Amino acid sequence: MIKLNPSDTDINQLKQKIASQVRHPFLAKFIPEPLIDEDKLVILASIMDHTTLETVKKEQYIITTMLVQIALDTHDLVTLSEEEEDGDTVRNRQLTVLAGDYYSGLYYYLLSQLDDIPMIHTLAGAIKEINELKMELYYKDVESFQEFLSSLKKIESLLIQKVASYVQRTTINDMAGEWLLTKKLLDEKKSYLEGKFSPLMDVLFKHPGALENSGQVIINIEQMIQKHISHVETTVSQLPIHFNWLKSYIHSAIHHKFYDRKIAEEG
């Protein structure tokens, strides 16, 4: 059992536990093992650390919530290309859908062991709302860049914020929303600049009416990243002293993902 007073060691142990849950020998033959979003894991652990829940329940809430996140992320990997596909591409898509469903089933199984119906309802409600937001983001015209960012922020942070509300610990919700949105923009920008497929960039290029012109996409995203980084730094500095470990983690993540990367790009 892990004593949840977040530290690098505790987070690594949680990651190992989550990884052992999602590891499936058949799926591993055909698709990469799912990535565990460490930033979301750290935020969840920090939220749970400041509740009066029993340690076993804290850990179970973290693992099941992360399994939900992995399931949502895995389904996002399913390609939506209309181009002609060969047998391997079709099989890979089917297996990715299967993997997402498998991870979804896992969290329901784990929660059933706790006999925690209200928490199941909380997570199921979050899944429904996130999927509805994704449908609107990917399949409807965005009327403005700000509307796009607002929807993306909800998609990235809503699961954690719903769990935080459930355990009545919402102090870090604002910071979590700002940081998770910023991190997503940084990651999508990086993927695009490296020539990889970025579903979010694809949405913006398909709907250039949301911007003055499609050539402004990267510039607009960079401006938003700068703005939100500033807001994150402000909200992090305002967190209570008992969140010192989380504050240190976020400051380090900002420097690694933004300032260090910016220096590398300019270099």
User: Is the model more confident about 62 or about 91?
Assistant: 62
Rounded to whole angstroms, the Cα distance separating 75 from 133 reads 14
Among candidate residues 198, 202, 171, 169, the one with its CA nearest the CA of residue 186: 198
pLDDT score for 188:
86
Stated pTM of the model: 0.83
pLDDT score for 143:
72
Rounded to whole angstroms, the Cα distance separating 47 from 41 reads 10
Q: Residue range 24-34: average pLDDT?
A: 67
pLDDT score for 209:
53
Judge whether residue 148 has pLDDT over 90.
no
pLDDT score for 219:
82
Top mean pLDDT of 110-114, 135-139, 234-238 is at 234-238
pLDDT band at 87 (very low <50, low <70, confident <90, very high): low
Judge whether residue 29 has pLDDT over 70.
no
Q: Residue range 6-11: average pLDDT?
A: 75
Q: For residue 5, give the H/E element and its range.
A: none
Residue 31, burial from CB neighbour count under 10 angstroms (0-12, 13-18, 19+):
middle
Q: Residue range 139-144: average pLDDT?
A: 72
pLDDT score for 39:
95
Rounded to whole angstroms, the Cα distance separating 142 from 204 reads 8
Q: Which letter does DSSP use for residue 209 in this model?
A: G
pLDDT band at 79 (very low <50, low <70, confident <90, very high): very low
Using one digit for the tens of pLDDT, what is the confidence trace for 97-132?
666 677 667 767 766 776 788 888 898 899 889 989
Rounded to whole angstroms, the Cα distance separating 172 from 245 reads 13
Rounded to whole angstroms, the Cα distance separating 2 from 245 reads 17
Within 10 angstroms of residue 32's Cβ, the number of other Cβ atoms is 10
Q: Residue range 146-156: average pLDDT?
A: 90
Lowest mean pLDDT among 141-150, 159-168, 183-192, 251-260: 141-150
Q: Residue range 10-38: average pLDDT?
A: 80
pLDDT score for 81:
44
pLDDT score for 8:
72
Rounded to whole angstroms, the Cα distance separating 176 from 157 reads 7
Judge whether residue 214 has pLDDT over 70.
no
User: Is the model more confident about 34 or about 124?
Assistant: 124
Instruction: Give just the sign of the alpha carbon dihedral 194, 35, 178, 243.
Output: negative
pLDDT band at 4 (very low <50, low <70, confident <90, very high): very low
pLDDT band at 82 (very low <50, low <70, confident <90, very high): very low
Helices and strands counted in the chain (H then E)? 12, 0
